[in-house]
Structure 1
């Protein structure tokens, strides 16, 4: 359908969306933390995962609105059946942040190994979900020589070239990393995948969830952590997503060796890909040409960008956070999360605690600086050679 006078309403936190909008298309930003503006005069609406679209949250949608897009790699915040019944086209940006999340996961693993005084190459990693992100994690593990097993039976049915490992194989993996989409019901349901389908075994030492909060039952996870602590067989966790997001469980935040506010995919490149992907789909729908003005990201001079040791001490960073963790900037996100929970502990007894924590959680996500991906960094002189191959992965 040709429509030269398209009006787009977009969340103001969508990264550089204006770079891809042709001059004759009108783009209006709105603040998603406030009430949604009237949609009557808009042809398209571009949102983020913080906005849920279903008959309860948005009970009426104007006939003029023909396209809704999400600048994200997931769709569990959208009731696609609802939009389909209304004749509204929906699209998103699958795989846009796969590399960024994979870097977060690898950084977490290496940080954990540094804490434990062990080598990642001595472990086997179980990757649960072998879509865009799971594959990206696997590629990074391969390049530094780490053994892994990929679990994804639905993919094995779709693709003859892929063979899924078994649940028994996962039970033998010391490290588990979750990369499943969140599906609340049906034959492909992933809600509470742990423990409904996969329970913890004594072999597990590290659990990483950078997918969706509802995939792991947090009560089960906490009880398991407590149980294993009493038996001197500790399970460590890295969590970027939370079952009750944007209000994370404060005890689980404190138990986690790394706790972050759903920012695993927060790189400049990932955000640009998310914006570009959904905008292209929108413009294709309206038979319009994309204004591709995005410039190449220049490599960083890491000698200037790495914080000095004195700065790390000032914010009381754990002593084991160094090397790749500092390159990635992971310590900053973990510090913000721990600080949020520490500042808000007293609020948990008040009626306003959920609002206070939720607003602070979202504020961190909206205001924290986006990081560069490793491939845009210049490998710094004097850093461990085992990190060098990571900077060559696209």
Structure 2
């Protein structure tokens, strides 16, 4: 007998996981919840828990429940006590790479915005990527296709591979620093406060720091201090050390700010939900009946009249970081609890955002650059 039909499962999914009901309804009843406020009482009769990064999954949340499968529709897993899940024989899955392209495109958009405002050619700068995993690795590939000079820092990989720089070298030589490490607090290479006072003092003149990874990888107080000491430095922060509270003074010192939405493309979100569907099928030992394309929007954006636009103008048609910057700044004068709620509302009510590959350009004057960025070219 099909174990999906007898009995059906009770599934709880974060309300910010698009298509969760459509994708998982095959297995049973799907109930949506607010990710930051989930309680143990809500999970007493739940079989499958699907979360995003704002939900802390640990013994306090799960003890006494009947949850047997936990999935997070994120690359990172620092919000999940994986050892507890293993000890309780609870199957765990994440979604590595699901929104990597969206984060890469956020970073590229910010870089091109900086280049436009401060009048430099992106290809004339040296880029440093800290953390060369799913996101950092894809960013490296796009940088290289664009002809950018790239330095890489990833101590765990450097133990067995060549081609990596130590942190001091990267900080001293890179003009634009991109952080994409997971958040770790122990082991041989902890990343919490990886950039604290001493490393930040080594930033070269006119450096740009972009963090679209994990907030606590940068000591936010130290970043503000170095920013106050050096007017030549530029910052773009999508993640914050004490989310959902944003350090207002630090935000004021940043060129671009946003509420942890770098990976919030519709494509990436649905891809993450679908990857958990695949993992649950494997856990239940059943075939996946649907493919990812069954759930992705069918319509492709097509701008056949836009071949004369610059790369930045085409990027802005898909994603404009200035929109998120204005929305977040409008919340920073709110008192603490209201600011927290506003931060989460910006994420919950996030506009539909596609990835560069959803846009097709005809008669492009810069086809090589557009292909390297990720756009499609019309035949």
TM-score range, shorter chain: 0.7 to 0.9
Give, in whole Å, the separation in 1 of the partners of 2:324 and 2:362: 22
Query: Does structure 2 retain, via aligned residues, the 8 Å contact 1:225–1:235?
Result: yes
The equivalences for 1:22-41 within 5 A come to 23-32=26-35, 34-36=37-39, 38-41=42-45
Give, in whole Å, the separation in 1 of the partners of 2:64 and 2:305: 49
Give, in whole Å, the separation in 2 of the partners of 1:148 and 1:51: 35
Partner in structure 1 of residue 354 of structure 2: 372
Residue deviations 1:191-216, cap 9 Å, x none?
A: 00002784332345100000000000
Bigger shift: residues 183-192 or 123-132 = 183-192
Residue deviations 1:291-318, cap 9 Å, x none?
A: 323245432134899xxxxxxxxxxxxx
The 3-state SS of whatever aligns with 1:45 is strand
Residue deviations 1:78-137, cap 9 Å, x none?
A: 111122222212111011111110001111111101111110111000000100100111
Give, in whole Å, the separation in 2 of the partners of 1:168 and 1:219: 20
Bigger shift: residues 117-126 or 42-51 = 42-51
Give, in whole Å, the separation in 1 of the partners of 2:369 and 2:323: 20
Instruction: Mark the CA change 1:51 to 1:24 in structure 2 (over 3 Å): closer, same or farther.
Output: closer
Partner in structure 1 of residue 159 of structure 2: 157
Partner in structure 1 of residue 262 of structure 2: 264
TM-score of the superposition, structure 1-length normalised? 0.84
Query: Does structure 2 retain, via aligned residues, the 8 Å contact 1:325–1:331?
Result: no
RMSD between aligned alpha carbons?
Answer: 2.6
Residue deviations 1:5-31, cap 9 Å, x none?
A: 332121222111233336353322223
Give, in whole Å, the separation in 2 of the partners of 1:360 and 1:379: 36
Instruction: Mark the CA change 1:275 to 1:52 in structure 2 (over 3 Å): closer, same or farther.
Output: same
Give, in whole Å, the separation in 2 of the partners of 1:59 and 1:324: 43
Bigger shift: residues 112-121 or 325-334 = 325-334
Partner in structure 1 of residue 14 of structure 2: 11
Instruction: Mark the CA change 1:338 to 1:247 in structure 2 (over 3 Å): closer, same or farther.
Output: same
Partner in structure 1 of residue 325 of structure 2: 334
Gaps of 5+ in 2: 307-311
Query: Does structure 1 retain, via aligned residues, the 8 Å contact 2:109–2:320?
Result: no
The 3-state SS of whatever aligns with 2:286 is coil
* Larger RCO (alpha carbons 8 Å, 6+ apart): 1
TM-score of the superposition, structure 2-length normalised? 0.88
Bigger shift: residues 280-289 or 249-258 = 280-289
Query: Does structure 1 retain, via aligned residues, the 8 Å contact 2:304–2:361?
Result: no
Q: Does 1:113 align with 2:104?
A: no
Equivalent pairs counted in the alignment come to 362
Give, in whole Å, the separation in 1 of the partners of 2:143 and 2:132: 13
The equivalences for 1:207-222 within 5 A come to 207-222=209-224
Query: Does structure 2 retain, via aligned residues, the 8 Å contact 1:106–1:140?
Result: no
The equivalences for 1:212-361 within 5 A come to 212-229=214-231, 234-292=232-290, 293-295=294-296, 297-302=298-303, 324-341=315-332, 344=333, 347=334, 353-361=335-343
Instruction: Mark the CA change 1:217 to 1:287 in structure 2 (over 3 Å): closer, same or farther.
Output: same
